[in-house]
Every structure is written in structure tokens, then in C-alpha cells.
Chains A and B, each alone.
Chain A
Amino acid sequence: MPTTRRQFLGLAGGVTVAGTIPIVTLRPIEATPAMLNTAIRNVVGEAQIRNGRVKLDIPPLVENGNTVPMTVSVASPMTADDHVKSIHVFNEKNPQPNIGNFYFGPSSGRAQVSTRIRLADTQKVVAIAHLSDDTFWQVAADVVVTLAACTEETN
């Protein structure tokens, strides 16, 4: 589909706005490529995904995509009635859209997980939380990668 003048101006305006706020920003899910969307739909089904509640700590700029520290947490009382069932982390441009699925329960006490991930390119990372009331919450972060993972040859 050719880009209309209106769409182009809209995009350009968006970029200008984005330039004035921090690199880690919230964005609606519509902007994601098809593979990422499919992976997310496989997890959440038809449910609505709302923005917020999830916190994704990841460096906005990483030198080495082979190991990127990441912490995901959700503000939740973690009681039997109100807890986080799972957190799912996705990426946009690695060969596979999934990064990890993490499952919690009321005995977790705190809905937080830290790990180290690989990023093959400068891209967006999305974390989605599944709460015990079957609502889904998401947050996205943009990460700039200077040395990509996965692409190098082995010796």
C-alpha cells in the first residue's frame, strides 16, 4: 500500500514527539510485526491487552546483544484472589518471537523475574502479564543493540 502524504506526516510528527521523551516508551501493540503479534495471540487468545501494571527493566542501549540483563515485575499483592499467573516476554526481530514464559503463584510473594537474554538487533521487547482475574497487561521497551547476537559464525 503506498504511503499517503497524511500518513507520512503523521509518522514524521510521531518521530519528532518520540525524540523528546526517554528512549524507553510505552507503545500500543498495533505497531508490532506479524510474527510478534501471532506469538502474543498464541498466549493471550482473543483477550484484550491493556497497557500498564507491568514494569520492564532493560537497558535502553546495549553493546553486546549476547547477554542483556532484564527484569520484569508486576505490581500485585500476590494473594490467592489477586496474583500474577504468568509473565511472557517477546521480541520483535530475533529469529523467534518468544524469549521466555515465567509462571508464578500466590506463594511467589512478588511477581518479579530477572534473567539475561539475547537480542539479534535493535528492537522492541514486549512483556505481558496474565493476572488471576484473566486480564492481560503489557509494556514495551525499545532497546538499541550495537553488537548483535546469533548472527556470527561459529569457529
Chain B
Amino acid sequence: MAALINVPSKAKRGDIIEIRTLTSHIMETGFRHTADGKLVPRDIITSFACRYNGTEIFRADLFPAIAANPYLSFFTVAKDSGKFEFEWIGDNGYSTTASASITVE
């Protein structure tokens, strides 16, 4: 599934950098009904994690109150050049990953 990641490609060591992520997902709340009265089953992303060179730097538990196509922005300290890995896990076995690399000088 499509995910948009925004990580600065270069940073100075010790800088605090912003990471922005957007992934496409319906985030069906499980509280809506169809016109004929049937409950639409819940289908949401329940958790998100970001690892920086293997170490978890940010994690989130998401609930139906998070809008469709979840957007998350958070910060980290640029320590070393390397890779950010992102993982979204959700209902019905949903799982998707993305990654981005950074050069730290």
C-alpha cells in the first residue's frame, strides 16, 4: 500500500529532525451503518512504529478516532547515517512497511 514518508535526506549530527508519514487506509470506525442498517465492520490501523537503525524511536496506538489515511508527524535526534523503518499494523491482518534513509554529517 502506498505510504508517503518525509525525512530530511541530510542532517547535522545532534539536530532534531521532523519525520512525517502518511499512509492510505480507510480507517473504517466500526460504528457506521449501511443504508439498510447493517453495521460496517471495523477496519483500522491499530499500531504504528518507527525504527532508526533498528532502535524504536516512536510508537503509536491508533483508535477509530484517527482520521482516514493516518498522518503522523514526530521528531528524533539525528545520530548516525542510516535507515528509518516504518511499520503499520491493523485489523484483518493488515501490515505494511516503508523505509527512508538519512545522511548525518
Contacts and interface: CB of A to CB of B under 8 A. Distances in A.
Given A66-B68, A115-B73, A107 B63 contact: no
A146 interface: no
Interface stretch (A3-11, A14-22, A126-134, A147-155): A147-155
B79 A107 contact: yes
A38 interface: no
B60 A116 contact: no
A86 to B, nearest CB: 9
B76 interface: yes
Given A107-B57, A115-B72, A152-B32, A68 B67 contact: yes
Nearest to B64: A96
Interface residues of B, number: 33
Interface stretch (A25-33, A98-106, A137-145): A98-106
A102 B55 CA distance: 16
Contact of B71 (A96, A102, A114, A118): A114
Contacts of B94: none
The 10 closest A-B pairs by CB, nearest first: A109-B16, A110-B75, A109-B77, A116-B67, A101-B61, A114-B73, A67-B67, A99-B65, A103-B59, A98-B63
